[in-house]
Amino acid sequence: MLKKAIVVFALTLLSGCSSNSVINSLPGSNAASDINFDDMYLRGVFNWWEATPAYRLNEGRTNWYVDVELIADGQPYDFKLADKVWTASQTCGGKYKGQPATLNQTTYLVCGSDAENIQFVPSTTDTYRFSFARASGDEIRLDITPAPAT
């Protein structure tokens, strides 16, 4: 009887470990395909980390984006991508603390409770477009470019 109980317990434990919901609930783990871009905000020091309408992502043809006016004072702007309530699985940022993002170069973000702040230092005072798209694996692609003239 004890052997049966141990076998049942072991099988239950193993089947739970293979469940996608268990894996996605672990800190720092989330599939990029689960990100709900239409409910995401660029949140950082430039907007006091708030989820305000001006920083909500807009849907483009191939990505999601938001335009942000930044002052070039030599200091980094820390930011993350997140929903209104900082849901861990919907919070995306750097793979390590202080990961830099560079103008016109792709940066890859991870999503989950261990996502760190990204840092961007603009070289000129301007409006910048922060564009996000799904990448391979569990990553989100970030591109920062000058915003198109309006």
pLDDT in tens, 100-136: 999 999 999 999 999 999 999 999 999 999 999 999 8
- Whole-angstrom Cα distance, residue 102 to residue 39? 25
Domain boundaries, the chain: 27-146
Quote the tokens at residue 67: 């335009």
- Whole-angstrom Cα distance, residue 65 to residue 62? 10
Q: Are 49 and 43 in contact (CB under 8 A)?
A: yes
- Assign a CATH topology to domain 27-146: Immunoglobulin-like (2.60.40)
pTM recorded for the entire structure: 0.78
